[in-house]
Structure 1
Amino acid sequence: MSFTLKSSAFADGSAIPSKYTRLGENIAPRLEWSGAPAATRSFVLIVEDPDAPNGTFSHWGVFNIPADRNELPESSDTAPNGGPRFCDNDFGNGRYDGPQPPKGHGIHHYHFRLAALDVPSLSIPASAGIQAMWREARKHTIAETSLTGTFERK
Structure 2
Amino acid sequence: MKFYSPAFAATEEIPEKYTCDGEDISPPLKWSDLPEGTKSLTIICDDPDAPSGVWDHWLIFNISPEITGLEEDTPKVFDPFRGIGHGINSWNNSYYGGPCPPSGQHRYYFKLYALDAKLRIKPGSGKGAILRAMEGHVLEKAHFFGVYSQKK
What TM-score range do you get, normalising by the shorter chain?
Answer: over 0.9
- In the TM superposition, what whole-angstrom CA distance separates every residue of 1:97-150 from its partner, at most 9, and x where no partner exists? 111110xx211000000000001x211123331232123223310000001010
Distance (Å, rounded) in 2 between the aligned partners of 1:24 and 1:76 = 16
* Aligned residue runs from structure 1 range 22-101, under 5 A: 22-78=20-76, 79-83=78-82, 84-101=84-101
- Give the TM-score of the pair, scaled to structure 2: 0.93
Find the counterpart in structure 1 of residue 125 from structure 2: 128
Q: Tell me, yes or no, if the aligned pair for 2:24 and 2:98 is still in contact at 8 Å.
A: yes
Cα RMSD between the aligned structures?
1.2
Distance (Å, rounded) in 2 between the aligned partners of 1:28 and 1:101 = 16
Choose which of 125, 142, 145 in structure 2 pairs with 1:145.
142
- Which blocks of at least 5 consecutive residues in structure 2 are unaligned? none
Distance (Å, rounded) in 1 between the aligned partners of 2:147 and 2:135 = 25
Q: Tell me, yes or no, if the aligned pair for 2:85 and 2:122 is still in contact at 8 Å.
A: no
Q: 1:26 to 1:76 in 2, by over 3 A?
A: farther
Q: Tell me, yes or no, if the aligned pair for 2:120 and 2:133 is still in contact at 8 Å.
A: no
The code of the aligned residue for 1:31 comes to: L
* Aligned residue runs from structure 1 range 3-14, under 5 A: 3-14=1-12
Identity of aligned residues (%): 38
Distance (Å, rounded) in 2 between the aligned partners of 1:148 and 1:53 = 18
Aligned residues: 149
- Which blocks of at least 5 consecutive residues in structure 1 are unaligned? none
- Give the TM-score of the pair, scaled to structure 1: 0.91
Distance (Å, rounded) in 2 between the aligned partners of 1:62 and 1:127 = 10
Partner SS, residue 80 of structure 2: coil
Q: 1:34 to 1:76 in 2, by over 3 A?
A: closer
